[in-house]
Amino acid sequence: MGSVTMKLPIIDFSNLKNQRETWESTKAQVRQALEEYGCFEATFDHIPPHLLKSVIHETKQLFDLPLPIKLRNRSNKPYHGYVGQYSMVPLYESLGIADALSPGEIEAFAALMWAQGNPSFSKSVESFSEKLSELDKIVRKMVVESLGLEKYMDEHMDSTNYLIRLQKYDRPRSHETELGLSSHTDKNIVTILYQNEINGLEVLTKDGHWFTSQPSPNSFVVMIGESFSVSFLNQLAWYGTLKKYTVKLMNWVQAWTNGRLHAPYHKVMMSGDEARYSIGLFSVPKPGYMIKAPEEMVDEEHPLLFNPYDHHRFLQFYYTEAGQKSPAALKEYCGH
């Protein structure tokens, strides 16, 4: 199924402080965009252009390091350390910094990559991460408010850590468009992506069409993940009765409750002769935190579909052979 070019909704997150009317209007736009697409493009003036330019420069310098050095970035959590050298997606390479906002974590990562550390890298990535986490918190607060779940606000906001992933998609080896990253949904809470000027991110619409996202140089793509959509929307309802779509050779079922928020399938397709660099901020449930649908989201029309689950233990299952083959991994892991 071919890709079409269209624009994601663009939402401005500037000037929200002390302006209730602006907050409510922006919140309505967020809810509408996440219902329709599962993602949107955000403008956020708290991050100045010079910092955006700096963090892309530092990311390029990181990926210029020799492979043995990048391989030092290890983790026992899936996709928290170095990822690359995969035959299925040979263009993709990434490194992760877990608990990125905890004091010293980014500096420790820099010391692992550079013998004498790298103050320029640490300063840029730390400042970028801190400011981008402000946008994450705003989006999550707006979603929780829009669902009328304010009493869970503190618990939800305190239940997460942040993972930073620095990513490179190499230029294709031929003149043909090549796969940069396979189709998937994010399993975390909210993902915020910033990229250099090279496009490639494609998103699947609810009616089964891929479209290419083309964000401006100073904006971000905000995308909801399964942990948020499931835990707060009792998502993935009515298994076996939903419309099926075919994505290349893979059949999948995307479900939602009453047409509300859903975690969108997305992939990266590379063309041209330049590499694509992106930086992702992922809000991730803390280890041991049990994700469960609030009681307000469960009624006769929307029965409980999932038992409470630990996000990190689910990921361990998801990246097993059985988890990768399952068309409904979360349902298989903790379905009610």
| C-beta of residue 13 within 8 angstroms of C-beta of residue 135 | yes
**Alpha carbon distance 52, 69 (integer Å):** 25
Q: Could you tell me the CA-to-CA distances from 228 to 172, 174, 261, 293 in Å, in that order?
A: 34, 39, 9, 10
* Residue whose token pair is 């026992």: 76
Q: What one-character DSSP code corresponds to residue 76?
A: S
For the chain, 336 residues long, the average pLDDT of each consecutive 10-residue run is 72 86 95 91 95 98 98 89 90 96 97 96 98 96 88 87 97 92 88 95 89 91 80 37 28 29 88 96 87 74 74 78 76 77
Rounded to an integer, what distance in angstroms lies between the CA atom of residue 282 and that of residue 191?
Answer: 5
Q: What is the CATH number of domain 3-295?
A: 2.60.120.330
Q: In degrees, to the nearest 5, what angle opens at C-alpha 230 toward C-alphas 191 and 225?
A: 10
pTM of the model: 0.86
Phi, psi at residue 297, to the nearest 5°?
-90, 0
pLDDT at 71: 96
Check: CB of residue 220 under 8 Å from CB of residue 42.
yes
* 253 HSE (CA, 13 A, CB side): 17
Beta bridge partners of 168: 93, 277
Distance from C-alpha of 100 to C-alpha of 136, rounded to nearest angstrom: 14
Looking at residue 325, the DSSP 8-state letter turns out to be H
How is 258-324 classified by DSSP, letter by letter? TT---PPPEEEEE-SSS-EEEEEEEEEEPTTPEE---GGG-SSSS---B--EEHHHHHHHHTSHHHH
Q: Where are the domains of the chain?
A: 3-295
Confidence at residue 252, expressed as pLDDT on a 0 to 100 scale: 24
Question: What is the C-alpha separation between 70 and 252, in angstroms, rounded?
Answer: 34
User: pLDDT of 144-195, one tens digit each?
Assistant: 898 888 888 888 888 889 999 999 999 998 889 999 999 988 888 899 999 9
